[in-house]
Structure 1
Amino acid sequence: MATRRDALALAAALAAITLTPGAISTASADPVKIRIGWSTMPGHLIPVLYSKPDILKHYGKSYTVEPIRFRGSSPQITAMAAGEIDMAAFGPLVLALAVTNAHLDVKVVADIIQDGVNGSHSETFLVRADSGIEKVTDMKGKRVGTNAIGSASDTAMRAMFRKNKMQDKRDFTMVEVAFPNIPAMLDEGKIDLGTVLQPMSKQLLDTGKYKVLFTSSDAMGPSQLVFLAANGKFLDANRAALMDFFEDHVRAVRWFTDPKNRKEAIKIIADFMQQPPDSLSYLFTKEDYYRDPFMAPNVKSIQDSIDIAVDLGLAPRGIQVSPEHVDLSFVKEAQKRIEAGQ
């Protein structure tokens, strides 16, 4: 798995490629630096979206990007509050906590990945095949691996336990484990259930040693798993540059997800992750998460997920997402520009 250092190196390399003499001759100021939090690859795609300058119209002219890696959505609240990032990969509950606990002015601006939409992949919660665990209630007295309390995965897991009248601490024990470490913890018997992301989910299931106990869709139905959220003041202060950024951002996602570019796209991602391309064969198929073609987030799903999280007691109170905490003007403008062929 690539590190934050890798992401920073990539951003620096891109700046060197695109900021050639005369590249910003039409700009009235230095490009706006956009610091974006992310936590998982290849799901979030963020660290590689700016790796093909030929499909980016504005990179290095009106904006540059610094991708910054985090363990999950929750730690990005602190980073945004400290002014260390401008945008973040948030789950629904994290958005609510950012507003109610950290008192941040934060807006939902774009889709990242949606779960279980149109028959697409739904996040898997795996147990060992020889564990004797056949149903959720068999988890009584067991240990559960969660990447971060309050993350989208954590919320779905707790929703499933709630459906089965089970509670943390009373019926099972939650253990915080970074996503990359969950398979090893399962294998070593240190946890009994864990959230396993693609591509590792497919790889583990193919061995026959693991099985899916339930999915996020089983727990909550189709949902907006992760979305791009931005500091409202940053949006207001840099609106023109960010219109350019989102045009390129949406254009890049569309390039990566276009079937005719699939082989090259997978190679770029595999090189970044330091994995063989064959291990990512599921990418941009029905075994992958759903991504909206113009990165429009499902705001209703975000609201529904927050309401579920509050009902689970994961937050003292919820928020009304729309209209105060949503700004879709950027992806709407991106769609207009792309469809107009500009």
Structure 2
Amino acid sequence: MKRLMLGMLMSLFAVGMIGCSSASEAGSSSGSKEDGPVKIRIGIGYATEEPLWLMSAAPELTKYNGDKYELEFQQFRANADRLNAYRAGQLEGGSLGQGALIMAADQGVDLKVVASIAKDTPNKGFNFPFMAKKGSGLESAKDLKGKTIGIPDFKSPTDMWARTALRNAGLDPDKDVKFSVLPTPAVEESIKSGKIDAGLVPQPFYAELEPKGELQTVFTSKDGVPVDEDFLSLFFNPKFISENEEAFQAFIEDYQATMKYYLENEKEARQKLLDKEFVLADQEIYLNMLDSNRSEDLSLNRESWEEVQQIMLEEKWIENKVDLDKLLDESYLK
């Protein structure tokens, strides 16, 4: 498996055009229990998925991995690639942002959101800051009129956070500011050189930059969307679930147990990921940085899905309301 690199955080948020073939048409190529453990192929990103990665990095934490199911991760930099692989029947499921999942459902992709991976919760855990040069006079979103904001991609959670924060400050994001799409590792230098005035700084970059005192926070993700977002969630193919219920239930139970271990032993869990080179980062920074809020039982916040969907409708990112009762399925959580 390719090494998981923390330096690529916001590539997880990229949203593009979705492929043409259907996962429900392609079905699952996983074997049955009679042939051995059921293979579960999961499309993952490059950051914020530590409890999920831990299931592979430390299989001793799981009860059924290798018995009832066999876990296989496939790494993708962009949502579009992950969704195309899923619709081609090359994946049973994957990690994806809340907005991207709603957009995928709006475009007819057959999937079920079954568990939370990470949340973006007001005043709890890490909230994503948009930062500017210290002394620039940019103290809040209202100061950004006529300025350029750096984001990883359009129609992404970061784009939504910025646009709603600007609207909340009385600005029109379509007229009063410019957006520049650039990779996360380039944000610091782009701010310092004046290419952009403010930009998103995720972990672990924030943990590295904040002590230097060269940049300051202008606003955060929660100034834009002040609700408990299921910012990163786990989705699966409904057909795979129905045809492999025992294996899927075993996987969910192991994921819950691994999440519990991660939350109770965060430094030890992160060290396991460093030791197995699932994460390549400065050890001191990675072990001590503030993490996103997470749900121990993997539960989803239905209210936040309603709120995020409403924002997406207002921004005209989706045309119709998605049936959230059909999209969200927590029936396998205990």
Partner in structure 1 of residue 93 of structure 2? 87
Partner in structure 2 of residue 306 of structure 1? 309
CA-based RMSD: 2.5
TM-score with structure 1 setting the length: 0.80
Match among 320, 325, 332 for residue 323 of structure 2:
320
Once the two structures are TM-superposed, the CA of residue 256 in structure 1 deviates from its matched residue by: 1.6
TM-score with structure 2 setting the length: 0.82
Residues 147 and 85 of structure 1: CA distance in aligned 2, closer, same or farther (over 3 Å):
farther
Partner in structure 2 of residue 296 of structure 1? 299
Once the two structures are TM-superposed, the CA of residue 199 in structure 1 deviates from its matched residue by: 2.0
Query: Is 1:113 the counterpart of 2:118 in the alignment?
Result: yes
Partner in structure 1 of residue 217 of structure 2? 212
Residues 175 and 34 of structure 1: CA distance in aligned 2, closer, same or farther (over 3 Å):
farther
1:190-231 deviation per Cα after TM superposition (whole angstroms, max 9, x unaligned): 332222212211221111011111111121113221111222
Question: 1-side partners of 2:246 and 2:315: how far apart?
Answer: 40
Query: Is 1:31 the counterpart of 2:37 in the alignment?
Result: yes
Q: What amino acid is the match of 1:328? A: E
Match among 135, 143, 147 for residue 140 of structure 2:
135
- Is contact 1:71–1:148 with CA below 8 Å preserved after alignment? no
Q: What amino acid is the match of 2:331? A: S
Residue aligned with 2:126, SS? coil
Question: 2-side partners of 1:131 and 1:74: how far apart?
Answer: 36
Residue aligned with 2:317, SS? coil
Q: What amino acid is the match of 1:144? A: I
- Is contact 2:160–2:224 with CA below 8 Å preserved after alignment? no
Select the structure with the greater relative contact order (CA < 8 A; seq sep ≥ 6). Answer: 2
Partner in structure 2 of residue 5 of structure 1? 2
Partner in structure 1 of residue 61 of structure 2? 55
Match among 149, 152, 158 for residue 153 of structure 1:
158
1:108-161 deviation per Cα after TM superposition (whole angstroms, max 9, x unaligned): 100111112563221211222143322223323332222232222222122112
- Is contact 1:44–1:113 with CA below 8 Å preserved after alignment? no
Question: 1-side partners of 2:190 and 2:54: how far apart?
Answer: 28
Partner in structure 2 of residue 11 of structure 1? none
Q: What amino acid is the match of 1:198? A: Q
Once the two structures are TM-superposed, the CA of residue 330 in structure 1 deviates from its matched residue by: 2.0
Once the two structures are TM-superposed, the CA of residue 74 in structure 1 deviates from its matched residue by: 5.4
- Is contact 2:114–2:235 with CA below 8 Å preserved after alignment? yes
Partner in structure 2 of residue 18 of structure 1? none
Question: 2-side partners of 1:78 and 1:185: how far apart?
Answer: 32
1:6-42 deviation per Cα after TM superposition (whole angstroms, max 9, x unaligned): 25xxxxxxxxxxxxxxxxxx95223222222333424
Instruction: Answer with 224-233 or 243-252: which moved more.
Output: 224-233
Question: 2-side partners of 1:150 and 1:267: how far apart?
Answer: 34
Q: What amino acid is the match of 2:295? A: D
Query: Is 1:331 the counterpart of 2:323 in the alignment?
Result: no
- Is contact 1:42–1:269 with CA below 8 Å preserved after alignment? no
Residues 140 and 82 of structure 1: CA distance in aligned 2, closer, same or farther (over 3 Å):
farther
Partner in structure 2 of residue 277 of structure 1? 283
Task: Identify unmatched segments of 5+ residues in structure 1.
Answer: 8-25, 333-342
Match among 261, 264, 269 for residue 265 of structure 1:
269
Partner in structure 2 of residue 20 of structure 1? none
Residue aligned with 1:47, SS? helix
- Is contact 1:91–1:227 with CA below 8 Å preserved after alignment? yes
Q: What amino acid is the match of 1:182? A: V
Partner in structure 2 of residue 236 of structure 1? 242
Question: 1-side partners of 2:172 and 2:318: how far apart?
Answer: 15
Residue aligned with 1:65, SS? strand
Question: 2-side partners of 1:82 and 1:145: how far apart?
Answer: 33
Query: Is 1:202 the counterpart of 2:197 in the alignment?
Result: no
Once the two structures are TM-superposed, the CA of residue 282 in structure 1 deviates from its matched residue by: 3.6
> Identity of paired residues, percent?
26
Question: 1-side partners of 2:61 and 2:169: how far apart?
Answer: 48
Once the two structures are TM-superposed, the CA of residue 175 in structure 1 deviates from its matched residue by: 2.5
Q: What amino acid is the match of 1:329? A: S
Residue aligned with 2:112, SS? strand
Query: Is 1:41 the counterpart of 2:47 in the alignment?
Result: yes
- Is contact 2:51–2:255 with CA below 8 Å preserved after alignment? no
